[in-house]
């Protein structure tokens, strides 16, 4: 498909809209999970089984690992695709699926991936994954020239994005652009009409501050944001600044968004380093929302109630991410949803 393809008739669907499937990548590299790979694999397989109760699950997994993964799946309907990834964070390197407003057909928007500013090598297979998926699904593809991770943007399904300056204005993503130029790239590449900018994300986040740890749309006109009342908390200052910005954002009609705060987990350390753990890194499915659990029972009871208010009619579940957070992410980071098409 031509790189000059006009996207005025396409939109980026919200994750609460009907989904065809959700994509994951199977962990295979010991160096990324030293002494923890088998535990993480078992945990990931449990996640696939949980998700498969609600919708199809597609997993990028090298052929030689299919039989081993199948042993974990205990009859769950999971489709395996023979592809070896460099890492597991499918949200960031997987395809962004655009939906044609007229035909309801899907188009893959394929942006460059450079491992969050060339922090980890190799990343070539991850950068090529979106195109591979498009080919496997026989979908048209529009390849972009610029770096963009899926976890760096949050869309309300009505052509509005949330993002952070700490990521999209970061020189480690390749060419340095003014904010207006980046906005133009996103508008042209994703059919976006409005972009709301927050300052940054969580301390210790290898992504430099992805939006999916600090703010999510839960409706076209509503934003859920991370908050900590403790002024001594490592993230208090940036989250308070983000909150003030969110409360001032307005839609195309000049109306402010409905807002709701979600607590942060108590600080989690991995090998002496602060982990970028957040309950905002949840996964929305057909009929369910799964949020990351860090073994903090009282706080997670509150999270369960808030998410139930935000997503009425969906089952609210938790999933233990204490092994997964060792590599810096959680459920939203691990997954990429494929919207339902015609």
Tens-place pLDDT, residues 2-51: 334 567 799 999 999 999 999 999 999 888 888 889 999 999 999 999 99
Residues of the chain short of pLDDT 50, as ranges, are: 1-4
- pLDDT per residue as tens digits for the range 123-169: 999 999 999 999 999 999 999 999 999 999 999 999 999 999 999 99
Domains of the chain with CATH codes: 11-339 (3.75.10.10)
Token pair in block for residue 116:
């969050």
Instruction: Name residues whose C-beta falls within 8 Å of residue 314's C-beta, 6 or more positions apart in sequence.
Output: 284, 285, 287, 288, 289
pLDDT of 252: 82
Gap between the Cα atoms of 11 and 25, Å rounded: 25
pTM of the model as a whole = 0.96
The total number of residues shown for the chain amounts to 342
110 strand-pairing partners = 143
Contact present, 211 and 201 (Cβ < 8 Å):
yes
How far is CA 66 from each of CA 41, 80, 324, rounded to the nearest angstrom? 12, 7, 21
In a 3-state reduction of DSSP, which class is residue 18? coil
Token pair in block for residue 150:
């899926």
147 strand-pairing partners = 112
* Torsion of Cα atoms, 161 then 166 then 172 then 175, to 10°: 50
């Amino acid at each position: 498909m031509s790189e000059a393809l006009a996207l005025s008739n396409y939109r980026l669907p919200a994750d609460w809209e009907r989904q065809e499937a959700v994509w994951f990548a199977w962990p295979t590299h010991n160096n990324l999970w030293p002494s923890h790979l088998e535990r993480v694999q078992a945990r990931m397989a449990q996640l696939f089984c949980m998700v498969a109760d609600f919708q199809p699950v597609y997993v990028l997994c090298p052929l030689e690992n299919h039989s081993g993964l199948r042993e974990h799946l205990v009859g769950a309907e999971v489709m395996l695709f023979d592809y070896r990834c460099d890492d597991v964070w499918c949200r960031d390197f997987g395809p962004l699926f655009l939906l044609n407003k007229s035909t309801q057909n899907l188009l893959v928007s394929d942006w460059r991936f450079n491992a969050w500013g060339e922090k980890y090598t190799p990343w070539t297979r991850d950068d090529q994954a979106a195109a591979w998926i498009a080919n496997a699904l026989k979908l048209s593809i529009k390849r972009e020239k610029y770096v963009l991770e899926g976890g760096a943007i949050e869309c309300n399904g009505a052509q509005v994005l949330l993002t952070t300056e700490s990521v999209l204005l970061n020189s480690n993503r390749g060419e340095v652009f003014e904010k207006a130029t980046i906005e133009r790239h996103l508008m042209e590449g994703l059919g976006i009409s409005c972009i709301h900018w927050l300052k940054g994300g969580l301390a210790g986040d290898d992504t430099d501050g992805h939006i999916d740890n600090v703010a999510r749309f839960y409706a076209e006109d509503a934003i859920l944001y991370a908050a900590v009342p403790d002024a001594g908390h490592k993230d208090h200052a940036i989250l308070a600044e983000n909150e003030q910005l969110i409360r001032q954002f307005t839609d195309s009609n000049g109306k402010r968004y409905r807002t709701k705060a979600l607590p942060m987990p108590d600080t989690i350390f991995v090998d002496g380093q602060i982990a970028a753990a957040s309950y905002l890194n949840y996964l929305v499915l057909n009929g369910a929302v799964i949020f990351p659990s860090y073994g903090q029972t009282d706080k997670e009871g509150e999270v369960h109630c808030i998410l139930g208010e935000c997503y009425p009619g969906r089952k609210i579940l938790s999933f233990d991410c204490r092994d997964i957070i060792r590599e810096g992410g959680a459920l939203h980071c691990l997954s990429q949803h494929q919207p339902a098409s015609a």
